[in-house]
Amino acid sequence: MSIRLIVFDPSVRNEEGKLTVLLNPEIIEKDGEAIMKEGCLSVPGLEAEIKRAENIKVTGLDKNGNAVNIDATGFLATVIQHEIDHLDGILLLDRIGFIKRDIFKRRLMKQLKEAAREQAVK
């Protein structure tokens, strides 16, 4: 059996909530639209405004195997959708559209070249 698991902690942004582990999360309802600036540890240096649902209802299991329902809105809703994207193999890069992706790639290549040049000088 495979387990899908996300961990999130809205308190890092001074939002209400605590470190939460959610197993096999599933979004059962979505409502509204919200655009927030997101970054990702998997794509260092990229920040982009991403449009997602503003309110979501999520079901899953907590770390003790108990069924939970979470109503999330705003920042927490964004975080949960971002993390579930990871489970589905979707990164911010896949959400930003090809023009921004291209700009980001070029900037990254430039940085890598500069870093390589600096290494060569040392």
Catalytic residue annotation: 83
- Find out whether 27 and 76 touch, Cβ atoms under 8 Å: no
Q: How far apart are CA 24 and CA 2, in angstroms?
A: 9
Compare residues 15 and 114 and give the one whose CB is closer to Zn ion. 15
Q: By rule CB under 5 A, what count of residues binds Zn ion?
A: 2
Shortest Cβ distance from residue 41 to Zn ion (Å)? 6
Which residue among 6, 40, 50, 72 contacts Zn ion (CB under 5 A)? 40
Compare residues 48 and 53 and give the one whose CB is closer to Zn ion. 48
Residue 96 as a binder of Zn ion (CB under 5 A): the answer is: no
Nearest to 24 by CA among 57, 56, 77, 65: 65
What six digits make up the tokens of 1?
A: 């059996």
Site for Zn ion in 60-89 (CB under 5 A): none
Shortest Cβ distance from residue 39 to Zn ion (Å)? 8
- Which residue is closest to Zn ion by CB? 40
- Find out whether 62 and 87 touch, Cβ atoms under 8 Å: no
Q: How far apart are CA 25 and CA 5, in angstroms?
A: 7
Shortest Cβ distance from residue 38 to Zn ion (Å)? 8
Compare residues 57 and 86 and give the one whose CB is closer to Zn ion. 86
Q: How far apart are CA 18 and CA 27, in angstroms?
A: 20
* Contacting positions for Zn ion (CB under 5 A): 40, 42
